């Protein structure tokens, strides 16, 4: 008897359950042989997949309500036979061009929603096989984004899918990844509201998967496709219009930061797509931050200030990470990012007192001080990137009075770890081949309003020539 004929015989016992244990036990022997053969031989997989009776047999079983018929005392044995049947499909389906994932998902939904199997010991194992079939059945033949996402939407909507263990979840995520590798699928996911539950399911998984796990790696691959897509900005605007549900927005931006900072290999188009949404949130929350910090009647450490700070740190961290890329610097220069960065740096420098061990011990019982940690670090880092070999940016920083702030930031601040080192590098970049900036710094040094040790660490020194104070590069001692 051929493999197809054997499967046809087994399918008859599934569609019309029998009462003899011996029949199901023989079916298990038959299925084991087919599973082993199709696991080891590509020829066997192709031969079975392309046999016209294979698809007919599989379709007949998956379309039926046969799962309603299995009852004790042979229920477990029946399910083992059905699982063996599914394993055959799993091995062969990638060689087939006719079996639809929507049918597989329909059968899965029928199975897990059957009260008879809700707590059965084989339930988890069955779900795993279904997920393997779905993942194996996504290929070049699937170029319809709506079809791919419709099946994925049905899958994530199944209650049991929400509580899979890590190994089972991996298979679902692999299927999702293969669906979203289709360009049309990503666009639809982000623009068609009916598919929003898929997005929120994937976001939720980021919180539950262990760090550095296989599941995290798959999720990172998925979200790299999402956050770098040109429609991601529109998705965020649609979901969070008018400042609604900002707590959820913060969680999404945190997840996005994880993805943005996970790679140094974004291409120019991806960088532009990422910065399109990052820069919009930066501008909005930078303006609000400056207003809150500069208010004559501020509420230091208020809930709103803390929240705005949280958003701003996430966005600035992502922007600073991208700042080392040429395409990102071009984006920032084109959209005059320095015109927003320097004023924000100035307000934070003026309104937020730096923290040292001494200041913390002196004010241990005070809660009135404004807190805005890390922001100066990220801004100074970004200014350094933008001013590198850019005379125009160097000039802008001086005209916006950012040079003084950077020079004054060459100090230790526990709210901004390694700020001194970052500021010194930034100062060195701003002074390089820029006489105007060098003159301003020389004047500040002469007035005693700046610490000349920072200037020395940046590789410059002040000297008086013909009664004029000027900055020059230090002579390197051999």
For each of the domains in the chain, give its residue range(s) and CATH number, in order of start.
250-430 (1.25.10.10)
pLDDT band at 334 (very low <50, low <70, confident <90, very high): very high
Coil, helix or strand for 144?
A: coil
Report the range out of 47-61, 132-146, 200-214, 317-331 with the highest average pLDDT.
317-331
pLDDT score recorded for residue 242:
67
Q: How far apart are CA 196 and CA 83, in angstroms?
A: 32
pLDDT tens digit sequence for 128-160: 888 888 888 876 455 678 888 988 888 888 877
pLDDT score recorded for residue 478:
41
Q: Which position has the token pair 């010194």?
A: 424
What does the mean pLDDT of the chain come to?
A: 86
Q: pTM of this prediction?
A: 0.83
pLDDT at residue 206 is higher than 60: yes
pLDDT band at 344 (very low <50, low <70, confident <90, very high): very high
Q: How far apart are CA 398 and CA 400, in angstroms?
A: 5
356 burial level (CB within 10 Å; 0-12, 13-18, 19+):
middle
At how many degrees (to 10) do helices 166-180 and 145-156 cross? 160
240 in Cβ contact with 253 (< 8 Å): no
186 in Cβ contact with 225 (< 8 Å): yes
pLDDT score recorded for residue 71:
56
454 in Cβ contact with 423 (< 8 Å): yes
Coil, helix or strand for 100?
A: coil
pLDDT at residue 364 is higher than 50: no
pLDDT at residue 359 is higher than 60: no
Q: Taking the CB of residue 291, how many other CB atoms lie within 10 A of it?
A: 12
User: Tokens standing for 207?
Assistant: 């919180």
Quick one: what percent of the chain has pLDDT higher than 90? 54
Q: Where are the beta strands (DSSP E) in 338-445?
A: none
């Amino acid at each position: 008897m051929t493999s197809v004929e054997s499967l046809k015989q087994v399918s008859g016992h599934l569609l019309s359950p029998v009462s003899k244990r011996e029949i199901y036990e023989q079916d298990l022997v038959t299925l084991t042989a087919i599973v082993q053969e199709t696991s080891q031989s590509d020829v066997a997989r192709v031969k079975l997949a392309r046999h016209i009776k294979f698809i007919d047999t599989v379709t007949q079983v998956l379309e039926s309500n046969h799962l309603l018929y299995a009852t004790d005392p042979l229920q477990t044995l029946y399910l083992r036979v059905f699982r063996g049947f599914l394993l055959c499909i799993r091995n062969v389906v990638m060689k087939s061009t006719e079996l639809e994932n929507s049918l597989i998902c329909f059968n899965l939904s029928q199975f897990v929603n059957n009260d008879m199997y809700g707590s059965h010991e084989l339930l988890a194992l069955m779900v795993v096989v279904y997920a393997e079939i779905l993942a194996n059945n996504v290929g070049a033949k699937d170029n319809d984004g709506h079809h791919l996402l419709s099946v994925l939407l049905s899958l994530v909507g199944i209650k049991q899918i929400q509580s899979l263990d890590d190994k089972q979840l991996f298979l679902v995520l692999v299927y999702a990844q293969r669906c979203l590798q289709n360009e049309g699928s990503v666009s639809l996911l982000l623009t068609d509201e009916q598919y929003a539950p898929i997005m929120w399911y994937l976001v939720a998984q980021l919180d539950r998967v262990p760090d550095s796990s296989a599941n995290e790696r798959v999720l990172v691959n998925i979200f790299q496709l999402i956050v770098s897509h040109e429609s991601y900005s529109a998705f965020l605007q649609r979901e969070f219009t008018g400042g609604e549900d900002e707590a959820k927005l913060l969680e999404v931006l945190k997840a996005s930061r994880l993805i943005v900072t996970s790679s140094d290999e974004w291409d120019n188009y991806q960088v532009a797509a990422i910065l399109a949404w990052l820069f919009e949130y930066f501008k909005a929350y930078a303006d609000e931050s400056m207003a809150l910090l500069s208010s004559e009647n501020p509420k230091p450490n208020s809930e709103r200030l803390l929240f705005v700070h949280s958003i701003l740190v996430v966005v600035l961290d992502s922007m600073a990470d991208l700042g080392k890329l040429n395409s990102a610097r071009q984006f920032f220069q084109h959209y005059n990012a320095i015109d927003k960065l320097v004023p924000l740096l100035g307000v934070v420098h003026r309104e937020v007192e730096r923290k040292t061990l001494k200041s913390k011990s002196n004010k241990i019982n005070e809660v009135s001080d404004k807190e805005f940690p890390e922001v100066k670090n990220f801004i100074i880092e970004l200014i350094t990137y933008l001013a590198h070999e850019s005379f125009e940016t160097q000039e802008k920083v001086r005209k916006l009075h950012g040079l003084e702030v950077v020079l004054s930031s060459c100090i230790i601040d526990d709210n901004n770890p390694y700020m001194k080192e970052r500021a010194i590098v930034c100062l060195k970049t701003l002074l390089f081949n820029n006489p105007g900036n060098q003159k301003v710094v020389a004047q500040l040094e002469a007035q005693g309003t700046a610490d000349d040790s920072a200037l020395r660490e940046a590789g410059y020194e002040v000297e008086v020539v013909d009664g004029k104070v000027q900055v020059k590069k230090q002579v390197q001692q051999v």
